[in-house]
Structure 1
Amino acid sequence: MNVFLDANIFFAAARSPHGGSSFVLELAKAGSITLMTVEYALFEAERAIHKKLSIEHVWRHYQNLQQCNLIVQPIPAIEPPVAALLERIVPVKDIPILIGAIHAHVDVLVTLDRQHFLGNTLLRRFHLPFEIMNPREFLTKYF
């Protein structure tokens, strides 16, 4: 199963080694799932961890990245009309996550972003080729 992670999952896993986000990473470490993301998400996660958490959390984040066999999906160039459409659906900062998940051909996008992904009714109308779930929903449904 291919699972795409938003930046907030990496942040939450660094903050709490016993939460749902950490368990998703543990599944990847065990080879039960394949994790994918984009460089932008890794950059945002690292920036937030450095800014808001301790050096211990930074260390945990780096250990997680080394151990989970993460695939980093390149983001293709986006034509201006497509970018304009996407800006009406999700904020500009979330476009790389959405495009990355689409191009990675994942089964699930796991995020904690309730406003822009999980609760975004406009986004759900597009019948994306993957589910959008929080860690609890993902773990409950598949594990």
Structure 2
Amino acid sequence: MKIFLDANILFTAARTPTGKAAFLIVCGGEGHWQIITSAYAVEEARRNLELKAPDALPQLAELLCHLEILIPSPAAPCPDSLPRKDRPIFQAAYTGAASHLLTGDLKDFGPLMNRPDLTFGILVQTVAEFLATI
């Protein structure tokens, strides 16, 4: 199982090191699944932490040691309904052959949640949904 993490999941994991998102990354580091993300998602998470919770930046750096960081292929397919700002996230998940894309962005990814028929086989879920199914 290969899980792609959106920027908001990285942000949450760094800000709440005892929460579900951080637990998910720790489990990946223990070999239960592979965790991937993109340079785009890392930069967005880092930028938001600098603004909202700069004390969590060292935790983000530590968590990133457990992840593979990808560069998306701009030629990768993407659901037409996604806004331009979210396309690099989906394209990186696709490029990395992720089985899951975990995000807290219900506004933009909500219509694609649990609909792999709309997402080229990638299961888009929240962290809570993913953890409830394992």
TM-score (norm 1): 0.83
The code of the aligned residue for 2:71 comes to P
Does the Cα contact within 8 Å between 2:112 and 2:118 map onto a contact in 1? no
Q: Secondary structure at the match of 1:50?
A: helix
How far has the Cα of 1:122 moved from its partner? 9.8
Q: Mind listing any 5+ residue stretches in structure 1 that lack a counterpart? A: none
Does the Cα contact within 8 Å between 1:89 and 1:122 map onto a contact in 2? no
Taking the aligned partners of 1:65 and 1:139, their CA distance within structure 2 comes to 20
How far has the Cα of 1:38 moved from its partner? 1.2
The code of the aligned residue for 1:61 comes to L
Q: Mind listing any 5+ residue stretches in structure 2 that lack a counterpart? A: none
Aligned partner of 1:6 in structure 2 is: 6
Does the Cα contact within 8 Å between 2:74 and 2:91 map onto a contact in 1? no
Query: CA deviation digits over 1:20-66, x for unaligned, max 9?
Result: 111111111211111111110010010001110032x1111111112
How far has the Cα of 1:104 moved from its partner? 1.3
Aligned partner of 1:63 in structure 2 is: 62
- Higher Cα Rg, which structure: 1
Aligned partner of 1:31 in structure 2 is: 31
> What CA RMSD, in Å, does the superposition of the two structures yield over aligned residues?
2.2
The code of the aligned residue for 1:78 comes to A
Identify, as 1 or 2, the structure richer in helix.
Answer: 1
How far has the Cα of 1:91 moved from its partner? 1.2
| Aligned length in residues | 133
How far has the Cα of 1:77 moved from its partner? 3.0
TM-score (norm 2): 0.88
